[in-house]
């Protein structure tokens, strides 16, 4: 929803008026460290964000939002897992790590996941993300119906709690929300006889319909361009601007190249009155000689709120239909003098597209994600920004719960940006210098390599942080143990490049394979769908080195460990005495923002037994396969 997205942008994102620091093109290739040297052309490409359609294959039924400095994307999976990708650039979504944020094994809604949409709405506990998706039974499409999840906090990546099914007893798909005059509505699609309709109904809350109320038909396929292959209208999407409400919808059978977009406008005050909607007589987005079946769209705004964009799926051939050939595409659209959207025509594959305005900043925003402190192993002080608001230098300060908190936010190729939770800026090497002892500072995001870092396993449970542009690590000046000492870029021979990752506050550990969270069940450790249980919240407690213990409460005497101190793969993970030698773990960052947890004594990681999706799947220590069953995403169970 365009108007709402712009409003959210204004509240959550500040675009700076002046640049802070440097442009990544200021240094020549000859001056860069050989291991990460990038040519000037490569740096320009990275900063430009230019992309071509399709963004990636198998991207049917896309939904995309820009929120707090990142794009978030879902597409149909056809599986039992709900997949989300995120990246700070639109082009970056092409290679972003897919994270399963929800899965189900309930026989009535286990399978055939379609058309996920996530909307930020005000629920009973404040603003949350509501994920509406279609699912049904294994082996048939006859029982597809809408289900709703609610995010725990304000992070679209979850974790999510299952809230319910809107109409579990009848076939209904492609749900979308409409907010109008303080009321909430759902628009969904349903077959009646040989005709597929779009229907609207009022809601009590984001997962419950109002009782004993009418379900009104919004669109009936009756025009020639709506009945190619079959009589179909589906995939309704709301577009609001300047007090006007439009609704696009997908028309004709998706298995034909003539799948396309139609348009309605709400011209009265009552969305439940069919006479208050005007139907446009001609389609507004159709096939070309190179793009076929463009449809099932969504809308999003550019990072600076000045542009509106269309995201949709399409095919490259007339022979392709409702299959995995449908690929993800995006393009900017405009408005005509009458105040109506002008979508143009689908862009030809391979044509270069400039990125949405504002991608390269300068951007200041509070990025969503788990908060960490980074304690230097030599000084035992934490990475922070100088206390003086006029001083942007990175320094080390006493590790306290109110300062020095960072989000490790994924960019591309396994790198992250370090987002500061206090000033909502990002850690960079000043002037993109490649010199030893170069200043490190907090600055607005400008999408360059000197603001990106590789976080890798270090010594004795610690990690190192290496700048993407220079290839040099972060270290304390002179290895000093004094508070307020500068943190600088130094050479790899420095003795104080080791940092301990300390997750802050209560943490939920969401598995990348299942979307379910680590939970204590008696003395055992297993996975469970998140449901606000105390057993699903954990604390990471530092030990004598870079390792951590994982427990339910700070004063608890039992920790996550390996049963009977077994060293073999497959050994059960359970709650053990914190003094046991298998009760300590190190965090190892993985591409996409997840973490692997390696046991200090055995050297083996945690993982899901048999990569299972089922509720209660056991957790064990496993051989290091570095697969998604062994990767956990740390989330705040707010």
**Residue 335 neighbours by CB distance under 10 Å:** 13
Active-site residue, from 61, 150, 265, 526: 61
Architecture of domain 50-353: 5 Propeller (2.115)
Predicted TM-score (pTM) of this structure: 0.93
Q: Which of 481, 315, 516 is nearest to 399 (CA)?
A: 481
Active-site residue, from 68, 117, 150, 234: 234
Euclidean distance between the first and final Cα of the chain, in Å? 26
CA dihedral 202, 207, 211, 212 (to 10 degrees): 50
pLDDT at residue number 403 = 85
Q: 460 and 370 in contact (C-beta within 8 Å)?
A: no
Listing DSSP states for 150-187 in one string gives EESSS-TT--EEEEEESSTTS--EEEEEEEETTEEEEE
pLDDT at residue number 34 = 37
pLDDT tens-digit readout, 522-577: 999 999 999 999 999 999 999 999 999 999 999 999 999 999 999 999 999 999 99
pLDDT at residue number 47 = 56
Give the Cα separation of 177 and 200 in Å (integer).
Answer: 9
- CATH tag for 363-502 (out of 3.10.450.50, 2.80.10.50, 2.30.110.10, 3.30.1340.30): 2.80.10.50
Fold of 508-635: Trefoil (Acidic Fibroblast Growth Factor, subunit A) (2.80.10)
The residue written with tokens 């990125």 in the block is 355
The domain ranges of the chain are 50-353, 363-502, 508-635
Q: Residue 42 belongs to what H/E stretch?
A: helix 40-48
Give the Cα separation of 364 and 362 in Å (integer).
Answer: 7
Would you call 531 a catalytic residue per the annotation? no
b/e per residue 24-44 (b: at least 16 CB within 10 A)? beebeeeebeeebebeeeebe
The residue written with tokens 């907010």 in the block is 179
The residue written with tokens 């997750």 in the block is 503
pLDDT at residue number 22 = 37
Give the single-character DSSP code of 628: G
Whether 363-502 and 508-635 share one fold: the answer is: yes
Listing DSSP states for 506-523 in one string gives SBEEEETTTS-EEEEETT
pLDDT at residue number 48 = 76
Q: 405 CB contacts (<8 Å, ≥6 apart)? A: 371, 372, 373, 420, 421, 422, 504
pLDDT at residue number 24 = 35
Give the Cα separation of 133 and 61 in Å (integer).
Answer: 11
| Chain Cα centroid distance, residue 450 | 23
Q: Compute the Cα dihedral for 624, 629, 631, 634 and give only its sign.
A: negative
The phi, psi pair for 398, rounded to 5°, reads -55, 140
Give the Cα separation of 46 and 41 in Å (integer).
Answer: 9
Instruction: Using 50 as the pLDDT threshold, list the residues of the chain that sit under it.
Output: 1-45
pLDDT at residue number 401 = 82
pLDDT at residue number 3 = 39
Would you call 61 a catalytic residue per the annotation? yes
pLDDT at residue number 213 = 84
């Amino acid at each position: 929803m365009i108007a709402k997205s712009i409003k959210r942008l204004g509240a959550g994102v500040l675009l700076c008026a002046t640049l802070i620091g440097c442009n990544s093109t200021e240094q020549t290739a000859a001056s860069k460290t050989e291991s990460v040297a990038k040519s000037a052309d490569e740096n320009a490409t990275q900063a430009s964000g230019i992309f071509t359609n399709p963004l990636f294959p198998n991207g049917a039924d896309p939904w995309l939002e820009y929120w707090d400095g990142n794009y978030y994307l879902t597409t149909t999976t056809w599986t039992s897992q709900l997949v989300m990708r995120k990246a700070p650039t639109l082009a970056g979504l092409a290679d972003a790590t897919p994270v399963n944020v929800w899965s189900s094994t309930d026989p009535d809604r286990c399978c055939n996941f379609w058309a996920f949409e996530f909307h930020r709405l005000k629920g009973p506990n404040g603003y949350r993300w509501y994920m509406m998706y279609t699912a049904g039974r294994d082996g048939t499409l006859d029982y597809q119906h809408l289900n709703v999840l609610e995010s725990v906090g304000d992070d679209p990546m979850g974790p999510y709690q299952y809230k319910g099914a809107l109409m579990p007893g009848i076939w209904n798909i492609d749900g979308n929300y409409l907010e109008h005059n303080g009321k909430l509505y759902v628009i969904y699609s349903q077959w009646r006889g040989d005709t597929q309709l779009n229907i609207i109904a009022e809601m009590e809350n984001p997962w419950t319909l109002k009782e004993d109320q009418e379900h009104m038909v919004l669109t009936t396929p009756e025009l020639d361009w709506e009945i190619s292959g079959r009589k179909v209208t589906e995939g309704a999407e709301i577009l609001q601007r300047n007090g006007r409400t439009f609704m696009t919808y997908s028309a004709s059978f998706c298995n034909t190249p003539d799948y396309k977009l139609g348009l309605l406008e709400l011209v009265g005050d009552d969305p439940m009155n069919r006479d208050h909607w005007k139907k446009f007589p001609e389609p507004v987005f159709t096939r070309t000689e190179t793009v076929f079946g463009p449809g099932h769209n969504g809308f999003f705004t550019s990072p600076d709120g000045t542009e509106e964009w269309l995201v949709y799926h399409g095919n490259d051939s007339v022979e392709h239909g409702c299959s995995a050939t449908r690929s993800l595409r995006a393009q900017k659209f405009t408005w005509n003098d009458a105040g109506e959207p002008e979508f143009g025509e689908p862009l030809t594959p391979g044509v270069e597209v400039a990125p949405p305005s504002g991608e390269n900043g300068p951007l200041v925003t509070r990025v969503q994600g788990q908060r960490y402190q980074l304690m230097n192993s030599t000084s035992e002080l934490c990475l922070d920004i100088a206390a003086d608001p006029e001083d942007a230098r990175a320094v080390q300060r006493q590790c306290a719960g109110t300062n020095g908190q960072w989000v490790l936010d994924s960019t591309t190729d396994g790198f992250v940006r370090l987002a500061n939770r206090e000033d909502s800026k990002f850690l960079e090497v000043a002037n993109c210098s490649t010199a030893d002892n170069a200043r490190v500072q907090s600055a607005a995001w400008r999408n360059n390599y000197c603001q990106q870092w590789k976080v890798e396993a270090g010594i004795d449970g610690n990690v190192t942080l290496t700048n993407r542009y220079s290839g040099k690590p972060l270290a304390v000046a002179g290895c000093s143990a004094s508070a307020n000492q500068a943190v600088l870029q130094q050479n790899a021979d420095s003795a104080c490049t080791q940092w301990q990752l300390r997750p802050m506050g209560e943490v939920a550990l969401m598995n990348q394979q299942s979307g379910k969270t680590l939970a204590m069940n008696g003395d055992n450790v297993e996975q469970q769908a998140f449901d606000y249980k105390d057993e699903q919240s954990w604390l990471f407690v530092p030990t004598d080195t870079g390792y951590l213990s994982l427990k339910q409460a700070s004063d608890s005497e039992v920790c996550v460990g390996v049963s009977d101190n077994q060293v073999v793969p497959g050994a059960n993970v359970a709650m053990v005495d914190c003094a046991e030698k298998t009760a300590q773990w190190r965090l190892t960052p993985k591409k996409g923002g997840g973490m692997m947890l390696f046991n200090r004594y055995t050297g083996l990681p945690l993982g899901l037994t048999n990569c299972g999706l089922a509720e209660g799947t056991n957790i064990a220590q496993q051989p290091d396969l570095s697969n998604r069953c062994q990767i956990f995403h740390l989330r705040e169970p707010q």
